[in-house]
Amino acid sequence: MLHAGAAFAVPAYARQTHQPCSSCHVGAFGPELTAFGRVFKLNGYTMKVGDEVDPPLSAMMVESFLHTGQLQDPADLGKPYKSNDNFSLDQASVFVAGRISEHAGVFAQATYSEVGGLLGWDNVDLRYARPFSHGDHGGVWGISLNNNPTVSDVFNSAPAWMFPYMSSDLAPGAPAAPILLDGIGGQSIGVTGYTQIDGAWYLEAGGYRSLSVAWTNKVNAGYDGKLSGVAPYARLTYTHAVPNGDFTLGGFLFDVQRGAVGEDANGRTIPLPGPTDDYNDVGLTGDYEYQRNDHIFTANALYVHERQTLNNTFLDGGSTHLRNTLDSFNLKGSYWYQNTYGVSLAQFVYDGSNDPALYGNNGSPNTQGGIVEFDYNPFGKSDSWKQPYVNVRVGLQYTWYTKFSGLVHNIDGAGRNASGNDATYLYLWLAI
C-alpha cells in the first residue's frame, strides 16, 4: 500500500510567481510555509507574474540510508532489504502544480516508492478561491477538492504537514494513532469550503466519502473499509500578529464511521456489511513563526483526543473493549540560519486505553520518543544556482523511543527493547 505523505516545495510554483522558494517555504525547501506561502495557498495557487506559459510540472526524488538500533526481520521489510543498514529510494514523485485559471489552481502528486514497489496517487488538492471585502474587513474564500483530511490546511500543526517531513517506510513506527493522522488519506474524496478573514480567523468545513475498492486499487491507496455516508470535518484557527512573526491557536473536529473489510472468492478486498467502528476526533493546535534577518524560528504543536466505539471490531473479537480512547501529542521546534542551515527537535506521545486484543503484548498503545534532525539546503534563495529550477536538501535525522507499545524492555516477547527501534536516517532530497 502507498501512503499519502507530506507535500513539498514545488519549483513549478517558483517559476510561476518569479519568487525564490524561500518566499513561501521556511528553509527555502520543504512543506513548512511562511506567511506569504500560506496566502499563496489560500488564494488557490493562482498568483502569477509575467505572461510566460510554463508547464505546471515538477519532479522529486528522495534517496536514503537507514540504520536501526537492533536488527529487524528481513521478512517484514521485504526484498531486497536486509536486517539493517539499508539504502532505499523512498520517493520518486511527479507533480502537476500551478494556476489553472484566474481563480483556480492545483497541487497533485503521484509517487513511486521502492518499499513496496508501487506507483500511486499521493496528496491532491484542487482549489477555487476568490478575495472579498466588506466595509473594513476583507479576506479570501474558497473551495478545496482533496483526497486527504488536513491536506487543505496551511499550518504545520496539521497532520498532513506535520514534522517529520521525510521518514523511511522501513523504520518502525507507532503502533496506533488517531484516525485524523492519515487514517483515510488517499482512500477518500472530500470537499471543503474555507474562508480567512482579516488574515486572522480561518474557518474550514466539509466532508469526506469513501472511494471504491476498484479506484483505490488503481491508485495503490489501500482500502481499510467503507465510510458510512459522509465523514464531517471542521477546522478553526485564529492568528495573531506578534513582532517579526505570528502565533496561531486552533482546533479540529473529525467524525468517521467505517465498516469492515473482507475478501471475495478470488481473494480480492471487498467492503463488508454490518456494524461500523466509530471514531470521534477532537484536536487542538498551536503554531508560532518568527523571522528576523538571517534567523527563523518555528514551533508547532498538535494534541488529538479520539473516542472509539468499536462496534464491528468488538463483535469480531478484535478488541477487548467496545469503547476505547486514544490520544496523541506532537511538539516540534525548528531554527534556521539564512534559510540554509536548520535544526529541528521534536517529541511525540501516543497513549490510550489498554486493550490486549486490539494492541497485543500488555495491551497498551503507549509509545513515546523524540526526533532530532539537521538539514542543509544550499539552494532555493534568490541568488541560488539554477534558481528556480533546482532545489535540494541533505538531512540527518535520529529518532529515539523511550517506550514502545507500553514497554521499555522485551517489547515483542523476543528480547527487543524500545531503543531497538531507534533509527538513524540520512537522506538526499532533490526537486526540479
DSSP state of 337: E
How many C-beta atoms surround the C-beta of residue 136 within 10 A? Answer: 6
Q: Is 49 exposed, middle or buried (0-12, 13-18, 19+ CB in 10 A)?
A: exposed
In the chain, domain spans? 11-431
In the chain, what percentage of residues exceed pLDDT 90? 84
Return the SS3 of 279: strand
For 180-230, how does the pLDDT look when each residue is reduced to its tens digit (9 = 90+)? Answer: 998 999 999 999 999 999 999 999 999 999 999 999 999 999 899 999 999
Q: What integer pLDDT is reported at residue 388 of this predicted model?
A: 77
**Burial of residue 113, with CB atoms counted within 10 A of its CB: 0-12 exposed, 13-18 middle, 19 or more buried:** buried
The strand pairing partners of 205, in sequence order, are 193, 234
Task: Quick: pLDDT tens for 264-292.
Answer: 888 889 999 999 999 999 999 999 999 99
Q: Considering the entire predicted model, what is its pTM?
A: 0.94
Strand residue runs (E) in 1-159:
57-68, 86-99, 104-113, 118-134, 137-146
More confident residue, 151 or 386: 151
Q: What is the Cα–Cα distance from 341 to 185, expressed in whole angstroms?
A: 32
Q: Domain 11-431: give its CATH superfamily.
A: Porin (2.40.160.10)
| Residue labelled with grid coordinates 476498484 | 214
